[in-house]
């Protein structure tokens, strides 16, 4: 009996010229296609490999780039480390040339994101970091952040993410990645240690102080104090006086809930008092603290 081919639902949704210039519907259809392919691929390896080839052909032929985001999920689509490693090997040579400092080799390669995604699924983290040692764009650099974190080098991951801040990088995405590294369940003490070990984005710490004020007031106090420390040392992108007040109010609210108001206020005074007379944080909180 001849085996009936699988009838893919996403084929009807990814018709040529179906979206015009509307990117959001296209992004949603790509996500649906990824989910369907992954579900079927877990059951049928031959089907997976055949459709990976067809999806790659669609990705390469995509002119407006409707399915550009597909490359970010390439490792997931591979499902297994073995398949991901084979795809990484196939794409790695051109990716290295595309990211080379040699102007004769350097250029855009549509497979770079897919290569990095495949390397990540294949757990070839060191190669990701090695490839991205040279200056490149944030959509690629974020894979190095993930690679550092996956290797257990969380402090390096956060420092690398912070070093990527620029007008061309998404602050929201960098903040979210740092929060994911800093705040996994059950690792509160490690999170504080990581945030203390090197400069962290104060806004990330301020949000953590706010979000944990009720359920983990002790943690909220510590990260709020660290936010003030890094603000005082000049770290942070486009910070304002409001950020200083938010850090202070969140940590003091948590301190009151934890029965540590006076002790915490003294610690705040020590941090702010160590600033120069014209220091940024001192100019905001000096009067409040009697400095």
| Predicted pLDDT of residue 1 | 40
In the structure, what pLDDT confidence band is assigned to residue 8 with cuts at 50, 70 and 90?
A: low
% of the chain surpassing 70 pLDDT: 75
The residue with tokens 């790509």 is: 30
Q: Please say whether the beta carbons of 50 and 8 come within 8 A.
A: no
The mean pLDDT value for 30-50 works out to 64
> Does residue 177 or residue 125 have the better pLDDT?
125
Whether residue 171 has pLDDT greater than 60? yes
Burial call 140-153: b when 16+ CB within 10 Å, e when fewer: bbbbbbbbbbeeee
With bands split at pLDDT 50, 70 and 90, how would you rate the model's confidence at 19? very low
Closest by alpha carbon to 203, among 154, 168, 169, 162?
A: 162
Average pLDDT over residues 159-169: 83
Q: Which of 12-21, 24-33, 226-235 has the lowest mean pLDDT?
A: 12-21
- pLDDT, mean of residues 68-86: 83
Averaged over 44-56, what is the pLDDT?
73
């Amino acid at each position: 009996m001849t085996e009936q081919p699988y009838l893919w639902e996403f084929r009807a949704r990814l018709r040529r010229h179906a979206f015009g210039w509307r990117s959001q519907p296209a992004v949603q259809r790509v996500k649906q296609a990824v989910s369907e392919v992954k579900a079927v691929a877990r059951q049928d390896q031959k089907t997976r490999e055949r459709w990976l080839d067809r999806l790659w052909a669609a990705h390469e032929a995509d002119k407006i780039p409707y399915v550009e985001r597909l490359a970010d999920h390439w490792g997931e689509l591979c499902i297994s480390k073995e398949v991901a490693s084979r795809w990484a090997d196939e794409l790695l040579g051109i990716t290295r040339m595309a990211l080379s400092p040699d102007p004769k080799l350097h250029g855009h390669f549509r497979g770079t994101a897919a290569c990095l995604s495949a390397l990540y699924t294949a757990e070839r983290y060191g190669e990701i970091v090695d490839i991205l040692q040279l200056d490149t764009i944030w959509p690629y650099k974020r894979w190095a952040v993930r690679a550092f974190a996956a290797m257990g080098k969380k402090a390096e991951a956060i420092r690398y993410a912070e070093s990527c801040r620029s007008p061309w990088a998404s602050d929201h995405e960098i903040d979210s990645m740092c929060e994911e590294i800093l705040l996994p369940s059950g690792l509160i003490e490690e999170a504080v240690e990581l945030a203390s070990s090197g400069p962290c984005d104060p806004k990330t710490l301020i949000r953590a102080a706010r979000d944990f004020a009720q359920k983990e007031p002790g943690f909220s106090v510590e990260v709020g104090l660290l936010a003030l420390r890094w603000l005082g040392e000049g770290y942070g992108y486009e910070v304002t006086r409001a950020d200083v007040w938010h850090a202070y109010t969140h940590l003091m609210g948590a301190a009151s809930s934890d029965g540590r108001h006076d002790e915490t206020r003294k610690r705040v005074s020590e941090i702010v008092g160590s600033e120069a007379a014209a220091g940024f944080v001192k100019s905001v909180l000096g009067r409040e603290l009697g400095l």
